[in-house]
């Protein structure tokens, strides 16, 4: 008898489950605009509707795997897709995955033939994706289409061919918390390394954390954005002009490493850096714990929304005291590539071109608007973003960005993620004082060469 | 004649019965797990898989390169610590809590509340467990705050980023989220033990500890063996919590076998080598499960 | 009955009970507290249990978002179905292991335990190819089958152990009365084994409810996503939505706890286990 009762309960539960799913499936059909994706049934329904209106439904649906929809204001990316459908009759279905797992989703999709037609790519993946044949050679596609490639602000090339193109670029300025600086008596923004150190000391004396370096191993972006970002500002590079690796015996890099170690030894760097993630770092900065961080300008939108009390400012990254040249600005991008196995390469290319230069290749208002919305810089040189309504903070970032040049030496490197983790694994023992600076740099050089050697 | 025919039919039916009961499970396992596992074993003999168009056989060279990799042995060392401590603590805590909840010392209401609280760590997905503990363990987090009252920590005490203790810390988190599984299983097992056994021994004047040792443990042995075996297998594969807490860092101090495999496959695109390391884990588990099946048989006899 | 107890024993046990409660419950309490805080107060020092600005905002946001509701319904549907399927298939297999000796027994037993020994990360791609081959990609069936094979081994092992503690005489009694093995299993053994079934069911539900990796790759569109994927989608590239993440976990755990409370009478000591002899 007891068992009967149990099964009745379970059966009833599952029945409720099935029914409610049916109900929501119907429910979501009526307000597809608010959901970020639509199922096929809805797609067809809309297509027919469009066809009746005299539209030109092509019946083609391309899938776009990205994490932008989650980052942008709700419905923003979907609106672009809806407009694209109205203009061309091509449906774009957005596939969302968390940023941290997008690479896993794309790779497993590619291996099993379920990958989207268009994928957004991080700079650290592009070499591996091109090398494994996951991404198609965009140079060929663009040439065949006769698209004007000169409008691209930058492209991600592997072996001389384009495999992905940044749609928008993000600067990585030095953000500061004005309230903490005021309390610590830092009246002038530090422009040089020594001034930065002085400022850090004042902040520390005032009882705040001065600066943060995120070296968590699961997403090793800190070594690129914060560590090397700081170096690039002073024209310090880890590659020679010919692209060869120049870490071991690089005097500039050694000076830089020693400077960072001084910051660390003096206690200016937020504790727990070896497991600090970018999300932790930005949250702590925004909560008013840390005075300075280097982070993506994309964070401004979220900060404005969630941290109304944050008194934020942005400055150029301090440079080496005797450095007078232009500053390299670390950039990160939202780039897209087209997958090799896509059956709708033409349509996917068309959507990409639409993002960059509109329907006829001459109107980059979509690109400009995306850039303005996300506090970013357009990937299309045609775009004339109107930042007049943007915050003062962003105006500063824009001015600094224009005064320097964009750089990211990690972009397009083989197994970039592994390189960054290896780098972190050598940096931490050096910062802790377990190895000396030459060993540290030699080991990084060896690790990178090992990856290229294989 | 008819009688003989019936007998044969009955004999066949009798022989076939266990297979009939097992067939849905076995078919599912063969198709959905054994087949992909064979693929993985095959990958381990290729130069690379998944990301290359025309892989070719390379014999044992992946095994040689894995076994000569210092990082691999570091990962094995971490895994051995992580798994042994986790499994041992799981069983101790799970058994302790199950006995507490099963004892006659508390009121029904108290036990109901305690049961719900004790099962809590179990109801959250791995990423939430990781984020929650990361939130609590970071400098100026709640753990530092509470421990600062007893002088065990300061605002800046690092738990996850200290190379000396990070492995112990992630093991602790794994213990926290894994014991309810034991607790529930043991609690269920305890209901299967007849009260008569206890009553007869109580008459003999046995102490609580002796009753536990001579009645409870032997009675639970088949269940305990099963859950330890499964826990062992699962803990070896434990991935999400470690990955989201430390990513295997700092400086590989928390890099277990599963983190090592993940990095090979998804950071370095070396699927063949990742498969090789996975096959190693598989072989170890098969050896242990053969031992387990033998034990299980002995327990029955 | 263990009868009269010593006061000191009760005090010690009470202290243990409370310590255990803190160990198990405090992190969850902290999660709940965090879910009530606005994003900018989650990291404040000193950490506070109560903030002036606490609100149910995050819960409201989660519960009014049709996409997130869909994640919950998907998870409930998949988990509940997996529980039923696993229990049926697992009990059948466990019965075979417990009551019969047959030539392939050890082999099948070893297989059932060791198939799960391969790290899912490497299994992911071959497994996914299979799902795509069977045209199950991005369907409920993909998740159902996956969780079924993940949870079956535990169910089989537990129920085999459980059935082993039940006397063979029980089956024989049924068969003497002219009943079949099938009847003996479902009419006699299963009803006695309800505590075991409930604990296996709980476990199965939790596994299916919390699984992330396969849910991520075997489904693709928003309307097929489950709660763990939904929670991870709140982890942005640069910042997390702490409040909503915590709120989603708390909301997700409530029905599970209700189920647990509903079924927990089966764990209570002294439940009739007459006729069950070791």
Q: Which CATH class is domain B70-300?
A: mainly alpha
The answer to whether the CB atoms of C77 and A93 lie below 8 A apart is no
Spatial distance between the Cα atoms of A246 and B153, rounded to a whole number of angstroms: 42
Partners of C84 on chain A (C-beta within 8 Å) are 10-11, 14
CA-nearest residue to A21 within chain C is C73
Spatial distance between the Cα atoms of C117 and A450, rounded to a whole number of angstroms: 32
Please say whether the beta carbons of A361 and A147 come within 8 A. yes
Spatial distance between the Cα atoms of A192 and B75, rounded to a whole number of angstroms: 42
Q: What is the pLDDT of residues B114-131, one digit of tens each?
A: 988 998 998 888 888 998
Spatial distance between the Cα atoms of B59 and B62, rounded to a whole number of angstroms: 8
Spatial distance between the Cα atoms of A296 and A336, rounded to a whole number of angstroms: 19
pLDDT at residue B201, rounded to an integer: 67
Spatial distance between the Cα atoms of A275 and A215, rounded to a whole number of angstroms: 6
Any idea where the domains of chain A sit in the sequence? 50-170+332-389, 174-315+414-453
Distance of CA A441 to the CA centre of its chain: 27
Please say whether the beta carbons of A211 and A269 come within 8 A. yes
Any idea where the domains of chain C sit in the sequence? 1-55, 56-267
The answer to whether the CB atoms of C81 and A17 lie below 8 A apart is yes
Complex ipTM, two decimals?
0.86
Please say whether the beta carbons of B211 and B220 come within 8 A. no
pLDDT at residue B125, rounded to an integer: 84
Q: What is the pLDDT of residues A98-121, one digit of tens each?
A: 888 898 899 889 888 899 999 999
pLDDT at residue B52, rounded to an integer: 78
CA-derived radius of gyration, chain C = 23
Residues of chain B with confidence (pLDDT) below 50: none
Q: Are strands A118-121 and A61-66 parallel, antiparallel or unpaired?
A: parallel
The answer to whether C224 faces chain A, any CB pair under 8 Å, is: no
Any idea where the domains of chain B sit in the sequence? 70-300
Partners of C119 on chain B (C-beta within 8 Å) are 236-237, 239, 257-258, 261, 278, 281
Instruction: Count CB atoms within 10 A of the CB of residue B181.
Output: 24
* Angle separating helix axes A2-30 and C66-99, nearest 10 degrees: 150
Q: Which residue has the tokens 């094979």?
A: C149
Partners of B50 on chain A (C-beta within 8 Å) are 107, 111, 132
CA-nearest residue to A424 within chain B is B251
Q: How far is A77 from chain B (nearest CA, A)?
A: 27
pLDDT at residue B204, rounded to an integer: 67
CA-nearest residue to C83 within chain A is A10
Q: Are strands A161-171 and A118-121 parallel, antiparallel or unpaired?
A: unpaired
What 8-state DSSP symbol labels residue C235? B
pLDDT at residue A23, rounded to an integer: 40
pLDDT at residue B202, rounded to an integer: 63
CA-nearest residue to B154 within chain C is C46
Q: Among A273, A169, A286, which residue's Cα sits nearest to residue A226? A: A273
Q: How far is B132 from chain A (nearest CA, A)?
A: 12
Residues of chain A with confidence (pLDDT) below 50: 1-7, 9-54
Q: Which of A272, A277, A419 to mutate to test the interface with B (most CBs of B within 10 A)?
A: A272
The answer to whether C222 faces chain A, any CB pair under 8 Å, is: yes
Q: Among B190, B264, A328, B293, which residue's Cα sits nearest to residue C105? A: B293
Question: Which residues 6+ apart lie within 8 Å of A407 measured at CB?
Answer: A232, A237, A328, A329, A330, A331
Which alpha helices (H) appear in chain B, and where do they start and end? Answer: 2-29, 35-43, 61-67, 70-102, 108-119, 126-137, 142-149, 166-191, 195-203, 208-211, 217-237, 240-245, 257-262, 271-300
Q: What is the pLDDT of residues A176-231, one digit of tens each?
A: 999 999 999 999 999 999 999 999 999 999 999 999 999 999 888 899 999 999 99
pLDDT at residue B205, rounded to an integer: 66
CA-nearest residue to B103 within chain C is C269
pLDDT at residue A40, rounded to an integer: 40
Q: Among A328, A103, A320, which residue's Cα sits nearest to residue A225? A: A328
User: Which of C17, C261, C276 shows the shortest C-beta gap to B114?
Assistant: C17
The matching CATH number, chosen from 1.25.40.10, 1.10.3720.10, 3.30.830.10, 2.30.110.10, for C56-267 is 1.10.3720.10
Question: Which residues 6+ apart lie within 8 Å of A438 measured at CB?
Answer: A248, A254
Distance, first Cα to last Cα, chain B:
39
Spatial distance between the Cα atoms of A170 and A183, rounded to a whole number of angstroms: 30
Q: How far is C15 from chain A (nearest CA, A)?
A: 34
Q: Was domain A174-315+414-453 assigned CATH 3.40.190.10?
A: yes
Q: Which residue has the tokens 């004042």?
A: A202
Same topology between domain A50-170+332-389 and domain A174-315+414-453: yes
Q: Among A11, A367, A450, A380, which residue's Cα sits nearest to residue C201? A: A11
The answer to whether the CB atoms of C161 and B223 lie below 8 A apart is yes
What are the beta bridge partners of residue B39?
none
Instruction: Name the C residues in 88-107 with CB < 8 Å from any B CB.
Output: 89-90, 92-93, 95-97, 99-100, 102, 104-106
User: Which of A10, A17, A99 shows the shortest C-beta gap to C236?
Assistant: A99
H-run or E-run covering A146 = none
The answer to whether C27 faces chain B, any CB pair under 8 Å, is: yes
The answer to whether the CB atoms of A275 and B166 lie below 8 A apart is yes
Instruction: Name the A residues in 20-59 with CB < 8 Å from any C CB.
Output: 20-21, 24-25, 27-28, 31, 34-37, 39
Residues of chain C with confidence (pLDDT) below 70: 1-5, 267-278
Instruction: Count CB atoms within 10 A of the CB of residue B81.
Output: 14
The matching CATH number, chosen from 3.40.50.300, 3.40.50.10780, 3.40.190.10, 3.50.50.60, for A50-170+332-389 is 3.40.190.10
Q: Are strands A174-177 and A312-315 parallel, antiparallel or unpaired?
A: antiparallel
Interface size, chain A vs chain B, as Cβ–Cβ contacts under 8 Å: 98
Q: What is the pLDDT of residues C150-197, one digit of tens each?
A: 999 889 988 888 888 788 888 888 888 888 888 888 888 888 888 888
Q: Which residue has the tokens 């880890």?
A: A238
Tokens representing B29 are 């396992």
The answer to whether C242 faces chain A, any CB pair under 8 Å, is: yes
H-run or E-run covering A442 = helix A437-453
What are the beta bridge partners of residue A333?
A169
pLDDT at residue C143, rounded to an integer: 94
């Amino acid at each position: 008898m007891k068992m009967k009762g149990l099964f009745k309960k379970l059966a009833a539960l599952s029945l409720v489950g099935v029914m409610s799913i049916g109900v929501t499936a119907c429910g979501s059909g009526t307000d597809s605009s608010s959901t970020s994706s639509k199922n096929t049934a809805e797609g067809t329904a809309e297509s027919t509707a469009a066809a009746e209106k005299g539209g030109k439904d092509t019946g083609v649906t391309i899938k776009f795997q990205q994490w932008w929809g989650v980052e942008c204001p709700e419905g923003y990316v979907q609106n672009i897709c809806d407009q694209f459908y109205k203009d061309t009759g091509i449906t774009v279905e957005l596939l969302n995955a968390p940023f941290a797992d997008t690479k896993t989703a794309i790779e497993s999709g590619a291996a099993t033939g379920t990958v989207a037609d268009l994928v957004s790519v991080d700079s650290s993946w592009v070499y591996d994706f091109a090398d494994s044949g996951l991404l198609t050679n965009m140079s060929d596609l663009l040439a065949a289409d006769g698209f004007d490639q000169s409008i691209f602000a930058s492209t991600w090339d592997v072996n001389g061919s384009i495999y992905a193109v940044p749609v928008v670029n993000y600067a990585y300025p030095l953000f500061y918390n004005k309230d903490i600086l005021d309390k610590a008596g830092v009246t002038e923004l530090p422009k040089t390394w020594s001034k930065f150190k002085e400022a850090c000391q004042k902040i520390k004396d005032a009882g705040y954390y001065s600066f943060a370096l995120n070296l968590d191993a699961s997403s090793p972006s800190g070594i690129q954005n914060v560590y090397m970002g700081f170096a690039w500002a002073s024209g310090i590079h880890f590659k020679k002009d010919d692209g060869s690796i120049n870490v071991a015996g690089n005097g500039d890099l050694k000076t830089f490493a020693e400077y960072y170690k001084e910051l660390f030894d003096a206690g200016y760097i937020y504790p727990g850096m070896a497991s600090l993630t970018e999300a932790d770092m930005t949250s702590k900065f925004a909560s008013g714990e840390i005075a300075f961080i280097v982070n993506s300008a994309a964070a401004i939108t979220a900060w404005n929304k969630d941290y109304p009390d944050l008194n934020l400012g942005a400055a150029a990254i301090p440079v080496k005291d005797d450095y007078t040249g232009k500053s390299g600005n670390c950039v990160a991008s939202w780039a897209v590539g087209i997958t090799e196995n896509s059956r709708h390469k033409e349509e996917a290319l068309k959507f990409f071109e639409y993002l960059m230069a509109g329907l006829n290749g001459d109107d980059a208002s979509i690109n400009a608007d995306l850039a303005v919305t996300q506090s970013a810089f357009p990937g299309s040189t045609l775009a004339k973003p109107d930042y007049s309504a943007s915050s003062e903070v962003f105006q500063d970032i824009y001015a600094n960005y224009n005064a320097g040049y964009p750089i990211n030496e990690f972009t397009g490197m083989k197994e970039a993620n592994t390189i960054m983790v290896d780098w972190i694994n050598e940096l931490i023992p050096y910062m802790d004082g377990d190895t000396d600076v030459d060993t540290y740099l030699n080991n990084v050089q060896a690790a990178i060469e090992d990856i290229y050697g294989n | 004649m008819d009688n003989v025919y019936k007998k044969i039919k009955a004999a066949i039916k009798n022989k076939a019965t266990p297979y009939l009961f097992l067939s849905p499970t076995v078919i599912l396992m063969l198709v959905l797990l054994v087949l992909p596992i064979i693929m993985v074993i095959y990958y381990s003999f290729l130069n690379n898989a998944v990301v290359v168009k025309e892989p070719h056989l390379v014999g044992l060279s992946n095994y040689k390169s894995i076994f000569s990799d210092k990082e691999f042995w570091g990962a094995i060392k971490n895994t051995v610590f992580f798994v042994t401590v986790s499994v041992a603590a799981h069983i101790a805590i799970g058994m302790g809590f199950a006995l507490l909840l099963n004892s006659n010392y508390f009121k029904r209401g108290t036990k109901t509340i305690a049961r719900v609280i004790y099962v809590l760590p179990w109801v959250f997905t791995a990423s939430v467990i990781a984020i929650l503990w990361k939130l609590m363990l970071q400098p100026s987090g709640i753990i530092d705050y509470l421990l600062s009252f007893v002088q065990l920590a300061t605002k800046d005490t690092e738990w996850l980023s200290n190379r000396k203790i990070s492995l112990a810390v992630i093991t602790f988190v794994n213990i926290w989220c894994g014991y309810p599984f034991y607790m529930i299983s043991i609690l269920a097992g305890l209901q299967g033990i007849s009260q008569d056994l206890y009553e007869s021994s109580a008459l003999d004047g046995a102490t609580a500890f002796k009753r536990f040792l001579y009645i409870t443990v032997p009675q639970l042995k088949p269940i305990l063996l099963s859950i330890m075996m499964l826990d062992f297998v699962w803990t070896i594969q434990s991935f999400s919590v470690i990955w989201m807490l430390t990513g295997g860092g700092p400086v590989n101090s928390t890099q277990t076998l599963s983190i090592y495999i993940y990095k090979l496959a998804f950071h370095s695109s070396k699927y063949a080598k990742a498969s090789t390391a996975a096959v190693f884990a598989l072989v170890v588990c098969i050896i242990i499960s053969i031992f387990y099946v033998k034990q299980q048989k002995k327990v029955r006899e | 009955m263990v009868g009269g107890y010593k006061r000191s024993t009760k005090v010690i046990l009470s202290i243990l009970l409370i310590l255990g409660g803190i160990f198990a419950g405090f992190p969850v309490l902290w999660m709940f507290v965090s879910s009530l805080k606005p994003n900018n107060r989650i990291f404040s020092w000193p950490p506070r249990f109560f903030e002036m600005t606490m609100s149910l905002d995050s819960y409201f946001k989660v519960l009014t978002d049709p996409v997130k509701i869909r994640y919950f319904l998907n998870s409930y549907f998949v988990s509940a179905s997996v529980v039923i399927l696993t229990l049926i298939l697992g009990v059948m297999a466990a019965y075979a292991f417990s009551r019969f000796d047959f030539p392939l027994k050890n082999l099948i037993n070893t297989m059932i335990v060791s198939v799960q020994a391969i790290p899912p990360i490497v299994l992911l791609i071959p497994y996914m190819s299979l799902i795509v081959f069977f045209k199950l990609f991005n369907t409920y069936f993909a998740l159902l089958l996956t969780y079924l094979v993940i949870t079956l081994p535990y169910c089989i092992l537990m129920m085999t152990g459980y059935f082993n503690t039940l006397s063979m005489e029980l089956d024989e009694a049924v068969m003497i009365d002219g009943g079949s093995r099938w009847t003996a299993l479902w009419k006699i053994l299963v009803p006695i084994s309800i505590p075991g079934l409930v604990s296996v069911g709980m476990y199965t539900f939790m596994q299916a409810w919390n699984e992330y990796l396969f849910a991520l790759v075997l489904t693709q569109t928003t309307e097929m996503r489950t709660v763990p994927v939904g929670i991870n989608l709140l982890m942005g590239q640069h910042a997390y939505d702490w409040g909503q993440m915590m709120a989603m976990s708390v909301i997700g755990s409530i029905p599970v706890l209700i189920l647990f409370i509903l079924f927990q009478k089966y764990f209570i000591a002294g439940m009739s286990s007459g006729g069950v002899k070791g």
